[in-house]
Amino acid sequence: MATYPPLWAMLLIQVAFAITTILLLWSVSIKAASLLGSRDEQGKIMGWMEGLRGVGVMGLALFTVWVFAQFHPDDPSSLKAVILIYSSTYVALGIACWFLVSDGFAHEELEEQSTFSLHHALGVLKMPTTWYCSMIIFGVYTIYAILSYSTNYLSEIYGMSLVAASYMGIIINKVFRAICGPLGGMVTSYSRWRSPTRVIQFLSGLCLVVIASLYFVTRSPVSLALAIGLILLMGFTCYASRGLYFACIGEVDTPKQILGTTIGICSVIGFLPDVFVYPLVGYWQDTLPPALAYRNMWIMGGCASLLVLLFTALLISQIKRVSPAGQAAPLKGV
């Protein structure tokens, strides 16, 4: 099992998965979803997209785990079967998209304007709304990365068993991902808060309160039930915000010819926490007492929440500045 597939083959497989999913598909899929509705429908569309993606991930993961369990632990065919299942699924979905997803009926003049150029990319970088949206994603994604340590936190600080902590991880990473995005989208559709940016602002404020509470209970752990409740609430705010943060790009009515470029740039900046959060928290865990390491982690999460609050306020202010009446008017590259 240790020698199959060989390391070089596994590296090539991972690079191929990265190229065919993250590099080529990510911004395209977000743009395609964004074009399905008007500016006022972005929250609902993105929320349901995140939720359905969570359902798909959960279903495929459970199926592959079941397939993996059918083989003997030392049988290398188990890993081969899992890789083939994922590859076949991606190929089947690609074929389905080819036949089922329409290219639209853009006029020739509009198609010429939509051609990518370096000028478009530079123009997107000059737009303040690009940076506002990027930093909103950056802050939410930092909290998302921190949330992956919540089960370790419960087991190390409160002594929760590994089995119970694993169930907590499943609830947060699978169940919440499937339900929180659509719930956030429904809030933007059926409540007084029609703006995804305002909903994210409220959720980040709530998350800041939760993180502050976790910081103080880490200093003197009292109740495991309280810690579980706080982490579940933090997970809800994080996944609901994840379902809405790309809706901010559509909410400011980004021109369609630069929508894909804007999503790509916001993704590059917004997902940078992947680069530093895990090494930094890992370093704290290796060099500091557990309580101090997790307090530092909560401080970083609090700073991320403040970042989201700041840039959602700036984005809302930008929308109000363009529309004195307070309506979220199109910014068109302001």
**pLDDT tens digit sequence for 221-260:** 788 889 999 999 999 999 999 888 888 888 887 777 788 8
Among candidate residues 316, 46, 330, the one with its CA nearest the CA of residue 188: 46
The domain defined by 7-98+119-322 folds into Growth Hormone; Chain: A; (1.20.1250)
pLDDT in tens, 33-59: 777 777 777 777 888 888 888 888 888
In b/e form, how buried is each residue of 171-210, taking b as 16+ CB within 10 angstroms?
A: ebbbebbbbbbbebbebbeeeeebbbbbbbbbbbbbbbeb
Query: What's the pLDDT at 326?
Result: 44
Q: Where are the domains of the chain?
A: 7-98+119-322
DSSP secondary structure code for residue 21 in this structure: I
Question: Are the CB atoms for 208 and 285 separated by under 8 Å?
Answer: no
List the single range of 146-150, 185-189, 229-233, 237-241 with lowest mean pLDDT.
185-189
Query: What's the pLDDT at 283?
Result: 94
Among candidate residues 213, 229, 176, 194, the one with its CA nearest the CA of residue 50: 176
Question: Are the CB atoms for 281 and 230 separated by under 8 Å?
Answer: no
pLDDT in tens, 299-308: 999 999 999 9
